[in-house]
Amino acid sequence: MYKVLVVDDEPKITELLRVCLEMQGMSVVCAGNGKEAIEAFLREKADIVLTDIMMPVCDGYEFVSKLREISNVPVMFLTAKGDTLDKVKGLSIGADDYIVKPFDPLEAAARVSANLRRCYGYDRGDNSKAENENKKIECGDLTLDINAKVLTKAGQPVDLTALEYKMIEYFMINKGRVLTKNQIYEAVWDNSIIPDDNSIMVAISKLRSKISDDSGDHIKTIRGLGYRMED
């Protein structure tokens, strides 16, 4: 049973999400602000976090920044703020997805389930992913152990967020192929509609900074088309 940490200062929202998530077979822990959330996470070790941004005591941005110091657990922002800068800021500090209020709680629960599947396991009906499971993929000095979900560079582990791991896995499975922004977004964010290019550009830039060095950049920009992973 997956455990979800729901963080929001509105009890009606946390209770509504609790009901819908438990209907999906998940265990739910709730907190009213970022300070309580950190304490709850250390105590409960949740598998995924769904957090509001505007909260008293400790807001969502501060909470996620602190959380990223101790864990790469997937994080989804639940917020009334829907403009591009807020989305980009959330993704840049370590969030993996976001849901904008007002929202359908059943859809929110389905999005949480989708992110859990992407982070912790594949749908066995997807043959291309099943064939790659339990394999190691190499790309230059990078080695991806899909079974252990670990990326190493020159033999040293690379610290990745859940979003960055999903992205590098998708790139390395499709090494040598040009991937459009739409394909990357659908595969990594589990959403078929791209709200803006900045979300992808920021995420790829952060990933590049972790896997590239003076000898070169593994993720090449193919002008007008997308990106390609190369040795």
pLDDT tens column, 17-42: 999 999 888 999 999 999 999 999 99
Cα–Cα distance between 225 and 186 in angstroms, integer? 16
Domain final residue pick, 93, 120, 147: 120
84 and 152 in one domain?
no
Contact 144, 160 (CB under 8 A): no
Separation of first and last alpha carbons in the chain: 39
pLDDT, tens digit (0-9, with 9 covering 90-100), for 171-215: 988 888 888 887 788 778 755 455 566 778 888 888 998 998 765
- Which tokens is 55 given? 């909260």
Identify which of 85, 58, 76 has the alpha carbon closest to the alpha carbon of residue 17. 76
Domain that holds residue 74: 3-120
174 and 107 in one domain?
no
**Residue 61's CATH number:** 3.40.50.2300
59 and 154 in one domain?
no
Domain final residue pick, 66, 91, 120: 120
142 and 84 in one domain?
no
**Residue 138's CATH number:** 1.10.10.10
pLDDT, tens digit (0-9, with 9 covering 90-100), for 89-136: 777 888 888 888 888 888 888 889 888 877 776 443 344 444 444 578
Report the greatest alpha carbon distance in the chain.
53
146 and 103 in one domain?
no
Q: What's residue 130's pLDDT?
A: 44
Q: How many C-beta atoms surround the C-beta of residue 136 within 10 A?
A: 14
pTM of the full structure: 0.56
For 136: left if phi > 0, alpha if psi spans -120 to 50, otherwise beta; the answer is: beta
187 and 204 in one domain?
yes
131 and 112 in one domain?
no
Q: Is the pLDDT of residue 46 over 50?
A: yes
Amino acid at 66: K
132 and 77 in one domain?
no
Domain count, the chain: 2
Residue with tokens 């976001």: 98
Contact 51, 60 (CB under 8 A): yes
- Which tokens is 144 given? 């991806």
10 and 113 in one domain?
yes
In DSSP terms, 98 is beta-bridged to 77
114 and 147 in one domain?
no
Domain final residue pick, 62, 93, 120: 120
Quick one: 68 exposed, middle or buried, by C-beta within 10 A (0-12, 13-18, 19+)? middle
Helices (DSSP H) in the chain: which residue ranges? 11-23, 34-44, 60-67, 84-92, 105-120, 127-132, 162-173, 181-188, 198-211
76 and 9 in one domain?
yes
- How far from the centroid of its chain's Cα atoms is residue 225's Cα? 24
